[in-house]
Structures are given as structure tokens and as C-alpha cells.
Amino acid sequence: MNKILVTVLLGSCCASIQAADTYSIDPNHTSATFSFQHLGFSTFHGKIPAKSGTVVLDPAKSAGNIEVTFDLEGVATGVPKFDDHLRSEDFFEVDKHPTATFTSRKVTFKNDKPASIAGDLTIKGITKPVTLQVTSSHCGTHPTEKVPACGANASAKIKRSDFGLTYALPAVKDEISLDIEVEAMKK
């Protein structure tokens, strides 16, 4: 739901960038991974690919903005029957809400590195504040595209019930671990 870190991540990037620059999210290398406790027996994982997104970064001002759209129709857990269930009205209702979005409000830096990204996560038309903790970031010249690029990983814990995802509560835990991996290249 959140590859959102890019804003933050990008803030620590490329010394060669002197003013605000715009980066495009690479949907092939950007996704949200989620995990939850399943009936107390195991931790179950799934992945939601990014559809599109933009990062605007101004490292001189330690400022940035990021918007990422995730493709809920592409949710994948490795269990096709469960993927179909996640797309149904019991969960994401992809016929009505095919995407989820994250839009940053504030990027916080520590020692000139992005540390967290506060923003709004929207799932099923419900918007809630979420703060992502940046766990790693790197910016530099992309080795194959030969353009400035940035990548980051960030994580947060959310309650699925906050977004109307209440199916099987409390048997299946409410808390979801969310990990977002982002890659973006300068336009």
C-alpha cells in the first residue's frame, strides 16, 4: 500500500540532483507485501503490485512528495482460490475498488537520510493515516537504464478493520504487517 518511501528515499539520494526532480515508479519493481497471523498457526504472505506512481524530490530542502497506486486485481498469495476470495466483496471488492493508493504528507529525515514517511492510505474508498518507517534506501545511477534512480524499503503495521476488511475477525488477526519496496527512475 504503501511504495511511498520513495519520497523519503529519494531525499537521501543523488548529490547531483540540485533542484526538485520528478521520478516515475517502476511498477515491475515496486510492490506492497502484506503478512498476517492465520488462525494462530502460521504467518501468511501476499503481494500487491504497483500500477503507477510519481515521486517529486527536492533534496536541497529535504522535501518530497509521493503518490503510488497499487493494483488490487493483481493480489497474489500463491493460493489462487484465496486470491479470488481477496478480490471478492468479503475483502477488497475489486469490481468497485480496483486500486489502493498511498499519498505522502510528510517525509522526516534523520542525519540526511529518510527515516519515515507519513501519508494517507486509501483502500476500498476508506482513507486512513499511515506512517511508514524506512528500513533502507539507496539512490544512484541505474546500472542498465543509465539514469538517476532511487529505491527504498519501508514498513508499517495497520489494522485491516480500519479499511473495512473485517472478514473472519477475530479468528484471523486484525493486525497486518505491510512492507513496501519501491524503485523509481528520473523522467
**What is the tens place of the pLDDT at every residue in 99-150?**
999 999 998 877 767 789 999 999 999 999 999 999 998 888 999 999 999 8
| Residue 181 CB contacts under 8 Å (≥ 6 apart), including other chains | 3, 29, 30, 31, 33, 151, 152, 153
Q: How many CA atoms lie within 13 A of 62 on its CB side?
A: 11
Record the pTM. 0.85
Enclosing domain of residue 77: 5-186
Cα–Cα distance measured from residue 184 to residue 10, given in angstroms and rounded to the nearest whole number: 9
Instruction: Return the minimum-mean-pLDDT range out of 11-25, 33-47, 144-158, 172-186.
Output: 11-25
Determine which helix (DSSP H) or strand (DSSP E) holds 10, and give its type and residue range: helix 5-11
Q: What letter does residue 76 receive in the DSSP assignment?
A: B
Using 50, 70 and 90 to split pLDDT, how confident is the model at 3? very low
Chain centre to alpha carbon of residue 76: 15
Which CATH number fits the domain that encloses residue 84? Answer: 2.40.128.110
User: What's the number of domains the chain is made of?
Assistant: 1
Q: Are 72 and 99 in contact (CB under 8 A)?
A: yes
Quote the DSSP letter at residue 78: S
Q: Which residues contact 111 (CB under 8 A, 6 or more apart)?
A: none
